[in-house]
Amino acid sequence: MTDRIAPLASRPAWKALQQHAETIRPQQLRDLFKTDPARGTRFTAQACGLFLDYSKNRITDETLALLIELAKQSGLRQHAEAMFTGQKINTTENRAVLHVALRAPRSESIMVDGEDVVPEVHKVLDKMSAFSDKIRSGAWLGYTGKPIKNIVNIGIGGSDLGPVMAYEALRHYSHRDLTFRFVSNVDGTDFAEAVRDLDPEETLFLVASKTFTTLETMTNAHSARTWTLAKLKQTESIARHFVALSTNTKLVSEFGIDTANMFGFWDWVGGRYSMDSAIGLSTMIAIGPDNFRAMLAGFHEMDVHFRTTPLENNLPALLGLLTVWYTDFFDAQTVAILPYEQYLKRFPAYLQQLTMESNGKHVTLDGEQVVTQTGPIYWGEPGTNGQHSFYQLIHQGTRLIPCDFIGFYKTLNPLGRHHDILMANVFAQAEALAFGKTADEVRAEGVPEALVPHKVFEGNRPSNTLLAEHLTPHTLGALIALYEHSVFTQGVIWSIDSFDQWGVELGKVLATKILSEIENPAELESPTAPTKGHDTSTTNLINLYRATK
Ligand code: F6P
């Protein structure tokens, strides 16, 4: 296990940063660039095909040195080693955290409880590859002898967001004769719309659930079973039209899925870190086993970079430390993720679970109340769309919103001037945010005095710019691993457990209780009395709903 680390507030680098922040806050990026033009090329780093420009951040060399010192005093290296070597760093669940093993090469060995997990990982990958090839080639036939044309992934949270994001991101590489749909919401509309134009004889459901107990997923899976049987009649047909991606063999088999068609993973893979496990079967069917392995290689390259590169040039560490800087020293509440790549349209949504389920914690590993803000709110939309919607607030609102711009040198769909226009906008937005436009500059344009304040851009709004050659499976893997390890870095600084998610439990328990009260009205009595432990508001709302049934 890692050495005992001092509480955050008593780490010397933290105290130094508190003082240092006082001197940085009044400074303008405009002046920082004027006095140190070299920062535009100095505050950059690259790895795994990704180029990071972090010069438009409100930092100096001293800030960087102090943040890196903070990482050292927080035991970032030791914690990372503990993760990479299979120690049980998810202490509240007593689990190892080994998504890095999912992309380890065959030659590696990672021990958990005395067992090397890498051969098991590759056994599942090989089984997924063989299955994907059968679907892609048309060799896998449905119950009535027709090849599978439609793949419907049923899952939620990590069992949905990763697969749907990766499918959209890598659509360019996908098998275009196959149709992919993703059902997550327990709202019946999601299922109904996903299957309305599909033929059960040609449809394969991937039931993706680590636990195989999640209410939404199991409800959708049972509806899919009913939908399939309505046409195919025979229960034996289920084995040809359903496979499971899960850690729970018992419940998979009870559902009626042949465990030969179950693709397993392990309790040391967190849901939000599982898109490169069996949960990624839809991705593999879409892009093929070779492309999937190229994506894993991208993840792995970033893992090695994070584990071995000095912090000064370590992309995930830098990104994570900058997030801590704004969250704790500038009161920033959010981080905007702004991919200038339409294929990455679901990337911000994917990152929301990764970052917010991981670092949305209010106590430290020791169970003490944290003394600083932790995980910021991640959000975003692809550019340039966001520019015509919420960028106004980022440019001229009262909040500080650090932005991550993501762009590519080359497009996968060359079309006239489109890509140059797109990229001109990435660079322009980051420039406008950082340097703004002063009142004098506005006046010099002949703007009437009354309008001057409205047209001033204060600037001094920080951003990172990430660039890569073009969007490939390898780049996507590296990009995801970059954020995974940035989240890890933040969690280590805050001394929180980034790998549990107890905060999702209470709502689930209450929903189960309320469902039974809705389905068995006798369980809820007076519309005004707080019966069954509910407050009067909740009781009233339930009764209003029940009255409409
Ligand atoms: O409720 C939150 C959560 O547990 C996520 O962490 C997870 O990704 C999701 O539900 C789905 O869980 P499962 O894969 O077990 O269905």
Secondary structure of 429-443 in the HEC alphabet? HHHHHHHCECHHHHH
Return the pLDDT at 549. Answer: 83
Return the pLDDT at 1. Answer: 47
Ligand 1 closest atom vs CA 211: 15
Q: Is 523 a catalytic residue?
A: no
For residues 116 and 498, what is the distance between their CA atoms, to the nearest angstrom?
A: 24
Gyration radius of the chain over CA positions: 25
**Distance, CA 538 to ligand 1 centroid (Å)?**
26
β-pair partners for 245: 208, 263
Helix (H, G, I), strand (E, B) or coil at 472: coil
Paired tokens of 145 = 């002898």
- Specify the DSSP class assigned to residue 357: I
Number of neighbouring beta carbons within 10 Å of residue 170:
23
Number of neighbouring beta carbons within 10 Å of residue 43:
20
Pocket test residue of 93, 185, 210 for ligand 1, highest count of atoms within 8 A of CB: 210
Low-confidence ranges of the chain (pLDDT < 70): 1-3, 523-532
* Residue written as token pair 């049972």: 222
**Distance, CA 97 to ligand 1 centroid (Å)?**
16
- The residues, any chain, with a CB within 8 Å of residue 34's CB and separated by 6 or more, are none
Return the pLDDT at 314. Answer: 98
Paired tokens of 179 = 């149709």
**Distance, CA 67 to ligand 1 centroid (Å)?**
33
Consecutive H or E run containing 180: strand 179-183
Which amino acid is it at 393?
L
Contact call for residues 254 and 274 (beta carbons, < 8 A): no
Paired tokens of 534 = 């509910």
Catalytic member of 388, 445, 454, 505:
388
Pocket test residue of 501, 505, 510 for ligand 1, highest count of atoms within 8 A of CB: 501
Helix (H, G, I), strand (E, B) or coil at 111: strand
pLDDT tens-digit map of 397-446: 999 999 999 999 999 999 999 999 999 999 999 999 999 999 999 999 99
Which amino acid is it at 534?
H
CA quadruple 528, 531, 535, 539: dihedral positive or negative? negative
Ligand 1 closest atom vs CA 161: 8
Contact call for residues 63 and 22 (beta carbons, < 8 A): no
Ligand 1 closest atom vs CA 216: 16
Residues within a 6 A CB radius of ligand 1: 156-159, 209-211, 214, 217, 271-272, 357, 501, 504
- Specify the DSSP class assigned to residue 356: I
For residues 90 and 83, what is the distance between their CA atoms, to the nearest angstrom?
A: 9
Phi, then psi, of 23 in degrees rounded to 5: -80, -25
E-strand ranges in 96-155 read: 111-112, 115-116, 150-154
Q: Is 431 a catalytic residue?
A: no
Pocket test residue of 90, 186, 214, 501 for ligand 1, highest count of atoms within 8 A of CB: 214
Paired tokens of 182 = 């993703």
**Distance, CA 210 to ligand 1 centroid (Å)?**
7
Catalytic member of 357, 381, 484, 517:
357
pTM of the model: 0.97
Q: Is 508 a catalytic residue?
A: yes
CA quadruple 265, 270, 273, 275: dihedral positive or negative? positive
